[in-house]
C-alpha cells in the first residue's frame, strides 16, 4: 500500500472514532463483506438477517470478478438490493460511509486485512482462524487496542444459545471435574494433485489473491476449495486443525477457562492416507498441557474415511452426515459431547445414563454471532463481544503450536513472558512468516 493511501487512512481515523463513540441504535451500520466464496456467502446471509437492526450490506468485495458478480446477482434477485462492488479491500477502507468490514478471505489475508481496517477506523468481523501464524495474533490485539476498534472472531459457537448452555453446565460441574477434553475433525479429502501452472481465469486478480504469500504462478490447486486447495497448503492455510479444528479448540478453551498459552504442545502426523502432494498432515494427533491444570487436551484430524466416535457421526450426525466433528469432555461423573454447532448431550456415571441435553438443527450459528458483533459496535465495549481479539489469538495459537510441533518433529515448550519457545530456534522461526511487499503485516501497527 502506498504512503499516500496510508496517510489518508490515518488522518481519517480520529473522525471515524469520534463518530463511532456516539453511535446509537438509530444509526445505520454499513458493512462491507470481503471474500465472497463459502463463508462469505454465509456472512451475506447473516448480516442480511439482521437488517431490521438498522444494518446494511453496503459493499461486496472480491478479487475474483466472476464470483463477485454472481453473488451480487443472487443477492439482488433475493433482496432487490444492490451493494457497491469493489475489487480491492482498500477501497472499502477508504470509504468513510462504511463502518465495518467482514473478512471471509483465505487465512493468509486475515491479519493484514484486519489490521488495515483497524487503522482505517473500521470495526472488523474476521473469519476463523483469525491468523495465519502466531505473531499475527499479537499484532491484531495491538491494532484493536490502539485504534479502539471492535474485532470479532468468527468462532460462532460462542453465540450459539445451546453451546453457551453446554459450557455453562460444564462450568457448573454437570459431569464433575473435567480431566480430558478431546476434539476431533474427521473430514475426508480427495488426494491433492501436484501444482500445474495454468492461465489465470478471466476476472481474477491473482496478485491480490496471493497478497502476503510468495509470488507463484496460478494453479487451480491453490485457489480450490478446502477439499483440495489452499486450506491444506502452508503458504495460505493452516491444515485441517486450523480450518475446522479452531472451532473445537475454542470450545475447549472457553469451557475449561484455559486463558493462558499451553506450556507444552506435541503433535505427530503425516501422509498416512494418500501418497499425494499435500504438505499439511492428512492425519494429525496432538496433545496440550497447561501449567497448574489437571486436564489433558487432545485433538485428532483425519483426512480419509473413518469410524464415528462417541456417537458423533452416526447417532448424532454432523451437518453433511459424512464428516465426524465435535468435542468430548470426560469428567469424574460422566461425559459430554458437542457434535455440531447447536447441540450437546451428557451421559452420567458408569452406565452412561442420559443426562441434560439440548438438540438444535446443527446449522452454523452465523446470524447470532454477527448480531453480537453489531451490538458491540453500537456499545463500543469490547467486553460485549463473544469472541474478542484475545480469544481469537489464543484459540488460533493452539493450532499454530500443533502445526509447529508437527513440522519440527518434537514437543515444543512455550515461554509466555518471551512469546517464544524455550531453546528451539527452528520452532521459533515458524511463529511468523516472511511477507511479500507491499502486503506486509507491520511491526508497528
pLDDT, position 6: 41
Q: Which of 295, 294, 243, 239 is nearest to 267 (CA)?
A: 239
Cell of 26: 438509530
Split the chain (445 residues) into runs of 10 and give each run's mean pLDDT. 38 42 74 96 97 97 97 97 97 98 98 98 98 98 98 98 98 98 95 92 97 96 73 96 97 98 98 95 98 96 95 91 94 98 97 97 93 98 98 98 98 98 98 98 97
Q: Which of 376, 445, 378, 398 is nearest to 151 (CA)?
A: 376
**Within a domain: 206:** no
Q: How far apart are CA 34 and CA 412, in angstroms?
A: 35
Please tell me the total count of domains within the chain. 1
118: left (phi over 0), alpha (psi -120 to 50) or beta: alpha
Q: Which of 401, 434, 415 is nearest to 242 (CA)?
A: 401
**Within a domain: 383:** yes
pLDDT, position 223: 87
Q: Which domain holds residue 33?
A: 3-157+366-387
**Within a domain: 188:** no
User: Are 130 and 308 within 8 A, CB to CB?
Assistant: no
pLDDT, position 403: 98
Q: How far apart are CA 35 and CA 110, in angstroms?
A: 10
CATH code (residue 35): 3.40.50.720
**Within a domain: 124:** yes
Amino acid at each position: 500500500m502506498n504512503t499516500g493511501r496510508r496517510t489518508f487512512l490515518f488522518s481519517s481515523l480520529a473522525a471515524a472514532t469520534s463518530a463511532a463513540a456516539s453511535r446509537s441504535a438509530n444509526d445505520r451500520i454499513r458493512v462491507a463483506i470481503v471474500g465472497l466464496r463459502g463463508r462469505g456467502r454465509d456472512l451475506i446471509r447473516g448480516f442480511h438477517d439482521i437488517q431490521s437492526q438498522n444494518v446494511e450490506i453496503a459493499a461486496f468485495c472480491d478479487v475474483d470478478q466472476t464470483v463477485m458478480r454472481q453473488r451480487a446477482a443472487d443477492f439482488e434477485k433475493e433482496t432487490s438490493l444492490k451493494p457497491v462492488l469493489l475489487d480491492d479491500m482498500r477501497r472499502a477502507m477508504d470509504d468513510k460511509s462504511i463502518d465495518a468490514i467482514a473478512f471471509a478471505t483465505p487465512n493468509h489475508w486475515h491479519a493484514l486485512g484486519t489490521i488495515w481496517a483497524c487503522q482505517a477506523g473500521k470495526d472488523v468481523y474476521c473469519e476463523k482462524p483469525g491468523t495465519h501464524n502466531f505473531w499475527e495474533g499479537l499484532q491484531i490485539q495491538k491494532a484493536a487496542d490502539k485504534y479502539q476498534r471492535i474485532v470479532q472472531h468468527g468462532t460462532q459457537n460462542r453465540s450459539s444459545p445451546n453451546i453457551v448452555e453446554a459450557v455453562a453446565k460444564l462450568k457448573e460441574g454437570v459431569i464433575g471435574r473435567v480431566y480430558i477434553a478431546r476434539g476431533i475433525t474427521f473430514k475426508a479429502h480427495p488426494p491433492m494433485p501436484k501444482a500445474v501452472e495454468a492461465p489465470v481465469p478471466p476476472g481474477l486478480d491473482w496478485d491480490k489473491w496471493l497478497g502476503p504469500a510468495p509470488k507463484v504462478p496460478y494453479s487451480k490447486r491453490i485457489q480450490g476449495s478446502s477439499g483440495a486447495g489452499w486450506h491444506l497448503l502452508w503458504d495460505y492455510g493452516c491444515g485441517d486443525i486450523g480450518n475446522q479444528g479452531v472451532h473445537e479448540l475454542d470450545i475447549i478453551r472457553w469451557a475449561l477457562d484455559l486463558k493462558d498459552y499451553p506450556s507444552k504442545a506435541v503433535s505427530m502426523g503425516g501422509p498416512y492416507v494418500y501418497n499425494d502432494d499435500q504438505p499439511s498432515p492428512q492425519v494429525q494427533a496432538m496433545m496440550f498441557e497447561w501449567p497448574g491444570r489437571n486436564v489433558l487436551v487432545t485433538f485428532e484430524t483425519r483426512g480419509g474415511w473413518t469410524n464415528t466416535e462417541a456417537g458423533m457421526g452416526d447417532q448424532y450426525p454432523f451437518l453433511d452426515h459424512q464428516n465426524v466433528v465435535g468435542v468430548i469432555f470426560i469428567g469424574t461423573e460422566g461425559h459430554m459431547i458437542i457434535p455440531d454447532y447447536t447441540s450437546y448431550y451428557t451421559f452420567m456415571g458408569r452406565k452412561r445414563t442420559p443426562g441434560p441435553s439440548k438438540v438444535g438443527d446443527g446449522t452454523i450459528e452465523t446470524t447470532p454471532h454477527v448480531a453480537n458483533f453489531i451490538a458491540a459496535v453500537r456499545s463500543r465495549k469490547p467486553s460485549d463481544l463473544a469472541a474478542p481479539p484475545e480469544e481469537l489469538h489464543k484459540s488460533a495459537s493452539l493450532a499454530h503450536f500443533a502445526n509447529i510441533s508437527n513440522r519440527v518433529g518434537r514437543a515444543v515448550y512455550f515461554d509466555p513472558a518471551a512469546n517464544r519457545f524455550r531453546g528451539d530456534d527452528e520452532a521459533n522461526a515458524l511463529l511468523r512468516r516472511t511477507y511479500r511487499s507491499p502486503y506486509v503485516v507491520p511491526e508497528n501497527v
